Amino acid sequence: MKRNKKKWLIWTMVLTLMILTIAGCAPRNSASPESEGTGVNQGGSAAPSSPPTNDPQQQGNTEPTPPQQETTDAVAEQLDKLTTTEKIGQLVLVGMEGTAPDEHTRKLIETYRVGGFIFYKDNIENSDQALSLINRLKEDNSVNKLPLFLGVDEEGGRVTRMPKEFAKIPTAASIGNTGDPKAAEDFYRVIGDELSGFGLNLDFAPVLDVNSNPDNPVIGDRSFGDTPETVSKMGLAAMGGLSGKGVIPVVKHFPGHGDTSVDSHLGLPVVNHDLQRLKELELVPFQDAIENGTDMVMVAHLLLPKLDPDHPSSFSKAVIHDLLREELGYKGVIITDDMTMGAITENYSIEQAAVEFITAGGNIVLVGHDYDKEEAVIRAITKAVEQGIISETMLDERVGTILKLKAKYKLSGEPMNGPDVKAVNAAIKEARKNYGLQ
């Protein structure tokens, strides 16, 4: 009996040692030090963990799901809840007539579910009216699941949509001549204050065209300079100034409108450069912008016969898919220049151009004028979806990219109180003084 008792005690000790050893080798709980021993998460489910990794520096890391993944998941869920009509609406950004919403704007919002509006000088009389217009459109859009893009061409210089109460922003050329990218950042930050104060969230700027042709009738002092290096450093700084204020920069006019002698508002410019030349000059600022995370690219109405002799760049597969998407690796939102410009309306069917732009890899068709043309474009895209020319997969891909951008900038339908005009004007005056642009 004593012998059995001794054996039993030995086995008990061995088993105890084994249990302690196994417990000591088990992985520690991944809770943060602050939660250990405090009862946090006790009785609840474990926090989500990151996927397994073979990187020694990452092993044991149980960080929460990255924001990018959360955004992707939310967008997928949002996309799944949209009707086909709502998806098609996101592919179109429209203009309006007059200074107040009317039956056409209401139909564009309530029936066609458009993704946004662009405003021109004739839509804006003064600050109070502009604020009222934008807030009213937001209110009208409350029937929809998605907030609106609300954009203007606000470049400074001669291309401005802001009310006369605001001081003038210098031309891009003047800013470029300072040689200081901080000047571009500062002036475009002020533009961001102006626009965001009204609730505008999209600026069709900065211009990334290189002013390489002195006879160009449409670019000129809208460009930061006549070398790609100047345009790149100034353009990137301008992008930062806008996005820092919650305004989406739209770089333009891809693949480069600087060496043209025809105004695309009136006719179709022809650019006879091959891809090698484009890579050496025109494409440099756009490539730099893409590498620095630009959110939206506007494609110009240019004919580049050595890339595509049959289609302008604004609906050319060779330019949009092959060059911008594949060659340059751009994954963001692509928008056309205004499809009601003479380059398109004088030479092509706007309906066909809109559909071919989408199938070529684009996301948003800009139709800035004429309600009948806006309606015709929406109907053409709808028909293309119904006929399978734009497949369901393609539609979801195009719209998903748009939804990611709206989520990234946290666009909302909340009314705004308007910018502080005095503060904005003081900032413009100070920046002009700092950079010698009185």
| Active-site pick, 203, 295, 308, 337 | 337
CB atoms within 10 A of CB 5: 9
249 in Cβ contact with 296 (< 8 Å): yes
Cα distances (Å, whole numbers) of residue 210 to 83, 252, 269, 378 = 42, 11, 16, 34
Is 337 among the residues known to form the active site? yes
- Asked if 204 and 258 count as a contact pair (C-beta separation under 8 A), the reply is no
- Cα–Cα separations (whole angstroms), residue 381 to 92, 120, 407: 9, 25, 24
Q: Report the candidate in 59, 369, 428 with the shortest Cα–Cα distance to residue 377.
A: 369
Prior bond to 312 cis, omega within 30?
Answer: no
Catalytic residue among 104, 265, 321, 369: 265
Closest CA to 93 of 407, 374, 404, 423: 374
301 a catalytic residue? no
Q: How far apart are CA 156 and CA 172, in angstroms?
A: 7
Least Cα distance to 137 among 122, 149, 152 occurs for 149
333 phi and psi angles, rounded to 5 deg: -80, 135
Which of 110, 72, 116 minimizes the C-alpha distance to 91? Answer: 116
Q: What is the largest CA-CA distance in the chain?
A: 113
The residues assigned a catalytic role are 265, 337
